[in-house]
Chain A
Amino acid sequence: MEPDDDRELNELLKEWRVADAPRSLDERVLGRRPWWRTLLTGSIRIPVPVALAVAAGLLIMAVALLKPKPNVAVSAPSVVNLEDFRPVSDLNVRVIRHGNAD
């Protein structure tokens, strides 16, 4: 009776299935993380001089962008000469409607 019992018992024992190792174990052992998690919570290490240089560069750019631009004064010509001014002899007015260039 026992060998038969053993076979039945073995078959029954095989019905207990256990899942494979979860991904979180990879993360813990190998330090692997999904790309989206790296994007959300990742960090990078950079040398302090590089960080300072980048920060200074950004600051200079921001100041340059935010600084109000001086108005360039355009001086009016001192003498206006209308000697060469001629009235239009043949005035052909074309009305161009919106969306219809012809």
Chain B
Amino acid sequence: MTDADFREAYESHKDQLFRFARRMTGSSDAAEDLVHECFLLLWQNRAAYDRQRGSMRAFLIGVTRNLAMKRLSRERTFDELQDTAAICGPIDPANRERGEIVAQAVGTLPPLQREALILAEYEEMSLDEISQITGADLAAVKSRLHRARQNLRRMLAPVLDSKRKANGTR
């Protein structure tokens, strides 16, 4: 990888990586640190990057994802990264913007559910791609995504209800 290749990779993927990291960590500063670290690792290991093993996008998201998981484990925002028993209760909308409420709801999800949801919903990745990036098998990805959606439906129920009422449905 030449200097020009590196710059091109940076310009092409920085925004997507930043948004992914921002959604994973809930903090712009943390996201900036993670993306910086990701490109630092890419530069330091540029000789090791193999185009044949997958797209640059998937590779960089995978690196950022690993860094984010390390950070979350270190900060121990969750006792377990595992997504087994976490059930999240409804969020009180309390005059807040919907985007803000969604951010809180997604941020409340256990990290493995959160990453599956962010990759599928916001990065529009296929289940295969998510499975490749996270190193989990397809069934596990499907299950995490399903539980993430269940949790979100529960947490966002008051918002969804008020939205339905506003639209005149039900």
A-side residues, CB < 8 A to B, are 5-6, 8-10, 12-13, 15-22, 24-26, 28-30
- A12:B156 contact, CB within 8 angstroms: yes
For the complex, count residues of B whose C-beta is within 8 A of A: 31
B-side residues, CB < 8 A to A, are 7, 10, 14-15, 17-19, 22-23, 28, 32, 35-36, 39-40, 98-100, 102-103, 106, 121-122, 149, 152-153, 156, 159-160, 163-164
- B32:A24 contact, CB within 8 angstroms: yes
Which one of A10, A17, A20, A29 lies within 8 Å of B39 (CB-CB)?
A: A29
- A22:B121 contact, CB within 8 angstroms: no
Q: Give A18 to B122 CA distance when docked, in angstroms.
A: 10
Q: Give A28 to B121 CA distance when docked, in angstroms.
A: 29
- A15:B102 contact, CB within 8 angstroms: yes
Q: Give A1 to B13 CA distance when docked, in angstroms.
A: 37
- B160:A12 contact, CB within 8 angstroms: yes
Tell me whether A13 and B121 are in contact in the complex, defined as CB-CB below 8 angstroms, given that A21-B32, A25-B14 are known contacts.
Answer: yes
Which one of B23, B28, B163 lies within 8 Å of A12 (CB-CB)?
A: B163
18 CB-based A-B contacts, threshold 8 Å: A5-B153, A9-B160, A10-B121, A12-B98, A12-B159, A13-B106, A13-B122, A13-B152, A15-B98, A17-B99, A18-B18, A18-B19, A18-B23, A20-B19, A25-B36, A28-B36, A29-B35, A30-B7
